[in-house]
Copies of this chain bind each other. A is one copy, B any other.
Amino acid sequence: MVKSIGVLTSGGDAPGMNAAVRAVARTCLNKGIDVYGVMLGYKGLHEGQFYKFNRHSTRNIINIGGTILKSARFPEFKNPQTRLEAIEQMKSVGMEALVVIGGDGSYHGALELTKLGVNCIGIPGTIDNDIPLTDHTIGFDTALNTIVEALDRLRDTSGSHQRCTILEVMGRTCGDLAVNAGLACGAEIVITSETGFDEEKVIERLRQSKAGDKKHAIVVITEHVTDVNELAKRIEAATGFETRANVLGHLQRGGRPSANDRVLASRMGVRAVELLEQGKGGLAICEQGGVITEVPMLTLFDSKRDVPEELYEDVLKLR
């Protein structure tokens, strides 16, 4: 039986991570398992930045954005020697297993530690929803609502001035934030890495809208597709629509977690501890059709996310 578990957050922070940390801690304490918060992700694991949690340690964090455990880049963890040193740090306090909350990039370290005999369980925490085999990642729902709120605000002013508004959102490799936000806000056009970007078609579509009865239009686009300020100028020149671009940026990562993200994080945190209790490791927690389950990390690395084609089609049907 596992007697002591650590928990860390890794990669970009996401709202709901704290609820997951709390769930791991509470579940452990209620089971009589020692639990440590590991600061600064794998960096803190390597440096032995451990805080032993008691019942008060995770009080009043379920509704707070960010991560109380902080996060940091630590590419050095790819080095096998560094990992062994981290395991020594863990041993020094009796920590036998680890819950890693973060993106799938974070899972590689977790899998390596598991191979070295330290059971690790991954919990998907990232706003981008870019992890295969789970319907939702922790933070996605909050970030989506943040984008929708921004679009609602932009709609007010866009409508009042009869403008075309472009909003650049996160989701470099996964367009879920963009397409869901576009659908939720009646966007004219959604552009992601998954749709590709044909500027001529975009402009032609907006020209048609302008020619028709559309008084204003919203375009949602993911980061790293094109320079949206330049795109705005070209759209304005080509269509006559006064056009403004907005880059929403890092504020998408913060904020009070939504109900869904807290529930998801809580459920996943409970599950992670239960798996470690069963002596399992190298698994990634997933949500599939509302059910919390788990898959081997290796399976996850070999999988690809499905593109939600229907949502993209619905954007077209409803514009």
Interface, chain A (partner B; CB < 8 A):
9, 12-13, 15, 19, 22-23, 26-27, 30, 55-56, 60, 62-67, 70-72, 135, 141, 144-150, 152-162, 165, 180-181, 183-186, 213, 244-247, 249-256, 258-260, 262-263, 266-267, 270, 288-290, 292, 310-311, 314, 317-319
Contact = CB atoms under 8 A, between A and B. Distances in A.
A251 B154 contact: yes
B247 A184 contact: no
A159 B61 CA distance: 13
Contact of A185 (B62, B152, B255): B62
Contact of A153 (B154, B253, B266, B292): B253
A141 B161 CA distance: 21
B254 A244 contact: no
A60 B155 CA distance: 9
Copies in the complex: 4
Contacts of A157: 12-13, 65-66, 250-251, 253-254
Contacts of A147: 259
A65 B153 contact: yes
A183 B66 contact: no
A246 to B, nearest CB: 4
Nearest to A62: B186
A66 B254 contact: no
Contacts of A310: 267, 292
8 contacts: A22-B186, A63-B152, A66-B160, A153-B253, A165-B250, A180-B263, A181-B259, A247-B247
A50 B6 CA distance: 33
A70 B162 contact: yes
A213 B57 CA distance: 12
A189 to B, nearest CB: 15
A9 B23 CA distance: 31
A63 B63 CA distance: 13
Contact of A62 (B72, B161, B184): B184
